[in-house]
Structure 1
């Protein structure tokens, strides 16, 4: 799924905090946003493996939620929401396509790596590829939850992310071709840092 979809759903995870402990909501929303994006920092270093933990992340989230319930504070609540967003990101990557330049072709059997199982989880392709119309639909749901919560700054961020998502959806397939062409011009010393899917296309 799109990074923006993960970010929006991470922010949406913070909405229950608004109902239970509104004083922690701003920090929780920020943590959800960061947690939703953070796993994709491994884009150029073992994407969907280095920072993606679908099993361990979920277990860590349960422990963090327990801590936040026992000792609620800005730090513990934000930590729990951030971990939950990162875990949700890793888990939902398995619902999408595999690691490939053109995921709509369905040639990859690697969706996300499970360190617990020591193997790649196969893509379910419920969301056919990042930037598919159904991906935009999920982003819209996440944004809708945040906007409905009437968190002013968060609503502006959510709508901005949704706008970026819509533009990306329109350009998704041409961007794959552009990335492939640009990869051919990467100077030799930097080639090891280019994701293999761009070079193997």
Structure 2
């Protein structure tokens, strides 16, 4: 799924905080945004393996949520939402496509690495690839309640992410071709740092 979809769903985890403890809403939204995006910082170094922990992040989120409920504070609420968002990101990647430059071709059987199982989990392809129309629909489902319930700043962030998502969906297949062409133009010493999927296309 798109990074923006993960970010929006991470932010959506903060929605219950608005109802239960609105004084922590901003911290929860920021934590959801950061937690939703953070796993993809491994994009160029072991993508969906280095920072993706579908099982361990989920296990870590449970006591963090309990702690936030029992001892609510800015720190505990942010920790709970942030870990929950990171767990949701890693876990939901199995619902998408594989780890190829053109995931709509369905050639990769690697969706996300489970450190708990010591193996790659296969893609379910319910969202065929990042940037597919159904990916945009998921982003919209999360963005609408965030925009309605959040303050002006949070609503603007949600609408901004949804807009970026829509543009990405329109350009997705062309961007893959462009990335492959640019990767081949890089000098050899730099090319060694580029993920193999860009050079094999």
| Superposition TM-score, scaled by structure 1 size | 0.98
1:68 matched residue in structure 2: 68
| Structure 1: stretches of 5+ with no match in the other structure | none
Paired residues for 1:10-89 under 5 Å? 10-89=10-89
Cα distance in 2 for residues equivalent to 1:114 and 1:151: 37
Residues 16-59 of structure 1 deviation map (CA, whole Å, 9 limit, x = unaligned): 00100000000000000010000000001100000000000000
Question: How many Å separate the matches in 2 of 1:150 and 1:98?
Answer: 34
Structure 2 residue ranges without an equivalent (≥5): none
Q: Deviations over 1:108-163 (max 9, x none)?
A: 00000000000000000000000000000000011012012142211000000000
Q: For residue 107 of structure 2, what is the aligned residue in structure 1? A: 107
Query: How many residues are treated as equivalent by the alignment?
Result: 201
1:125 match: 125
Structure 1 residue 96, shift from structure 2 partner: 0.1
Q: Corresponding residue for 1:198?
A: 198
Measured in 1, the distance between the counterparts of 2:127 and 2:41 equals 21
Partner of 1:152 in structure 2? 152
Q: Which residue of 1 aligns with 2:186?
A: 186
Mean alpha-carbon deviation: is it higher for 87-96 or for 66-75? 66-75
> Which stretches of structure 1, 4 residues or longer, exceed 4 Å deviation after superposition?
none
Please report how far the alpha carbon of residue 186 of structure 1 lies from its aligned counterpart in structure 2 after TM superposition.
Answer: 1.4
